[in-house]
């Protein structure tokens, strides 16, 4: 079992949780989330799970895109 969570995964979690709490996200914040996940050149297991669930919430319109 992988116990070490990367710094980028922790940052990603914080950003995604904010969007979940607000039920909305701007395009800029969405782009930042993608950047954080990919900036180290590797998307680890934790990041993949979070991104998949996040995208599902967007697809299901639990989180909506808003203009800044």
Residue scoring higher pLDDT (7 or 53): 53
Residue 3 has a pLDDT of 63
For the beta carbon of residue 12, count every other beta carbon within 10 angstroms.
25
Residue 17: phi and psi, rounded to 5, are -60, -35
pTM, rounded to two decimals:
0.85
Residue 6 has a pLDDT of 83
List, for residues 1-43, the tens digit of each pLDDT value.
446 778 888 999 999 999 999 999 999 999 999 999 999 898 9
User: Which residues fall within 8 angstroms of residue 12, CB to CB, at 6 or more apart?
Assistant: 33, 36, 37, 47, 50, 51
């Amino acid at each position: 079992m992988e116990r070490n969570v990367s710094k980028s995964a922790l940052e990603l979690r914080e950003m995604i949780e904010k969007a979940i709490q607000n039920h909305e996200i701007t395009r800029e914040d969405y782009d930042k989330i993608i950047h954080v996940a990919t900036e180290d050149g590797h998307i680890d297991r934790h990041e993949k799970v979070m991104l998949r669930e996040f995208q599902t919430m967007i697809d299901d319109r639990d989180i909506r895109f808003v203009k800044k």
